[in-house]
Every structure is written in C-alpha cells, then in structure tokens.
Amino acid sequence: MSTEHLSFDSRAVHAGRGDLAALGLHVPPIDLSSTYPLPSVDEGGQAYELMAGGGTPAPGQTAVYQRMWSPGVARFEESLAALEGAESAVAFASGMAALTATLLSCVRAGRPHVVAVRPLYGGTDHVLATGMLGTRVTWAAADGVADAIEADTGLVVVESPANPTLDLVDLRALCDQAGEVPVLVDNTFATPVLQRPLEHGASIVLHSVTKFLAGHGDVLGGAVACSEETAQRIRSVRAITGAIMHPLSAYLSHRGLQTLPVRVRAQQDTAQVVANWLVDVEEVERVYYPGVEGGDPAGLVGTQMSGPGAVVSVDLGSFELAAQVAQGVRMITHAVSLGGVDSLVEHPAALTHRVVADDVKPHPGVLRLSIGLESPEDIIADLEQALAGG
C-alpha cells in the first residue's frame, strides 16, 4: 500500500509495511540470514554485481549476502524515506558510518572538498578536521558558504539545530548559496516530525538513528535520505565497506518510527517547560533553546521548523558547577546520546566534543540536556537538587 496520500502521523505508522498482508503478517519479520541461497552461479553473480554497484534486488532475486542487502533494513529505509519526503534512504550500523559512506562517495567521484558550517556533532567535526577519509574541509559561516565553494567541492555539511548550542541555520538561504553543490543536513535533533530539509533545498538528510528515530536507547544506527541516484552511489560504498545496519536494529528502528511523532511532540512540550524554568534560575548564565527569547533570531521556528525540539543546552558559567550538576542528578541519567524516552545530561566539551579544536569547543560551563518522557516537575526537581549540591 502506498502511503503518499496519508498524513505524516499515519505514514509513520504504516510506511514500510506494504508487503505484510501478502505475507500473512501483521508486524515486520526479522530476517537474520547472513547468506541467501543462489538459484545458479550466473544469477548469483549478476545479483552480486547489481548490489555492489548500489542497486537493489528485484522481487524474487537472491539477496546473496547480508552485507549487500537485507529485507528488514529495506523496510526501515522505505519508511524513513516516506517521512523525509525522499526517493530513497540508506541505513547503516551507526550515524558515523552513514556520514563516512557519504564522504567516501564524494571522494570516489573526484570531489573531495567539503564546506562545513560549525557547530557540528563532535564526531562529524573530527572526521572532517582530520581529513582521514581523503576529504579536505573549509570551515565557513552559514552566510559564507558561496565564497568557500571550490571547483572540487562535493558537499556542504550543516547541522540544524546544531549540536550542542541548538543554533538554527536558514536552510533555504544556505542551499541557494551552495548552488549545484549537494547540501547534507544533519537532522538528528529535529527529526522529520519538526523539519524536513529536502523541502528547503537540501540534497541529503543525515540521521543518527540511535537518537530520536529508534528512541529507546537500545539501538545503534545511522541513515541518509536522498534521491535514488545519490542513494545508489552511497549504497555502493556501504556494500563494499560492510557498514549496513543489522536486521534486528532495523526492526527496532522501524518500530521506533511508528511512535516518533507522539514521542517528539511530548518531549518537546516538556523541554519548553524546563527551558522556561532554566531561564529564571540564578546560576544559569544562558539557555540555548530555540523556544526561549533570543534562541531563534531568524524566526525559523514556525517556518522551517514546526517546533523548537526536545534538546536544551545550558551554560552554568563554570566547569565546576556543570560537573556538579551532571554528576549530581538522580533520576536523569548522566550519559552521552539523546532522543530516548528517558532524560540524559552530558558535558559536551569533556565528551561528545572533546576532539573538537579548542577554539571552537563548547564553553566548559555548558551542559546538554536531552528531555525524555518524564514529567517536567520531576526533571526540574532533579536539576534543582543537583544545582544545590544534593
């Protein structure tokens, strides 16, 4: 069943399930096969060549080997593509694996130069800054992308909302600057519930599936959503390098998408309450959140984004107080990652952004809060006691 005619929330429930009725099933099966029977040497060889080049097997054609293609992964990809409004999606074992394959596809095409807009997730920043994948980076402000593009630029990379300061970038304006150069937008914080970058001119949408999409802290995964032409190039890298998402992770991620709209909106409501409270806390020097005064200077919430999201960062002025709060929470978990049903707190400069250059590293007083599905009263009470030193 096509889901194009359905509302976003209904697509989240039904996308990627179109073949289940014919199989006599109500929920997607988990196919853990590492290898698949070959009808003949010739047919097996043809299928292998197809998938090594980034193609997908036709119905009834052998999948050959799980590194090349997996039916459960394909169902998740179909569902995510439907939510992002993309022709295709490609799922990986982690978000960094998804980014790596995308960057390698640029290198293979002879366009290794990348223009990147900070702030970015620390891992993304690190892999670009080191050039370990054969890329070369020029760091640019959001309004300086056009001047940074060179003859061999293969990609512009931006994250909005950005990690960890929740900066919002006008994606339409940035994509206009990029011209014919593809723009990759890390949409992990917003999810397609709140923002769909392809609608604003982006070419590739990146997700750490580990976060909101899977949503329960029990999956490691990544994905890109894009055109089928781009997906074919990226799938080819995935098939060769072996970074495909595991079938069980795909099953859990696909299940996570079904509740994604409900979770994200509920977490966002609570995040707004917590952010409003933090604004008035004496020890807080700044709240980074698009839903508070001054947090969305370009007015992108309500136009580019439908809401401010469920991640709140706060500057407590000093490393000592930030560490005290991170280590002093009781209900909130002191841990990296975000987007799960339970609230998390982490110190970006010491952890997720530790490998970022010192001159662009987050302030040592900054904490990042991922707001879960607990009541706002309980989250605020936990932060209060941690601020008071327990």
Cross-strand bridge partners of residue 366: 315
Domain ranges of the chain: 8-257, 259-387
Return the closest-CA partner of residue 192 out of 85, 71, 299.
Answer: 85
State pLDDT tens for residues 337-385.
Answer: 999 999 999 999 999 999 999 999 999 999 999 999 999 999 999 999 9
Residue 269 has pLDDT above 70, yes or no: yes
Cα separation, 28 vs 255, in Å, equals: 9
- The reported pLDDT for the residue numbered 1 is 64
Which pTM does this prediction carry?
Answer: 0.97
Whether omega for the bond prior to residue 182 falls within 30 degrees of 0, making it cis, is no
Residue 41 has pLDDT above 80, yes or no: yes
State pLDDT tens for residues 249-260.
Answer: 999 999 999 999
Structure tokens at 140: 């640019």
Q: Rounded to the nearest 10 degrees, what angle do helices 376-387 and 247-279 cross at? A: 70
Give the DSSP per-residue string, 277-337.
HHHT-TT-SEEE-TTSTTS-TT--BTTTBSS--SEEEEE-SSHHHHHHHHHH-SSSEE-S-
Architecture of domain 259-387: Alpha-Beta Complex (3.90)
CATH of domain 8-257: 3.40.640.10
State pLDDT tens for residues 309-343.
Answer: 999 999 999 999 999 999 999 999 999 999 999 99
- The reported pLDDT for the residue numbered 390 is 77
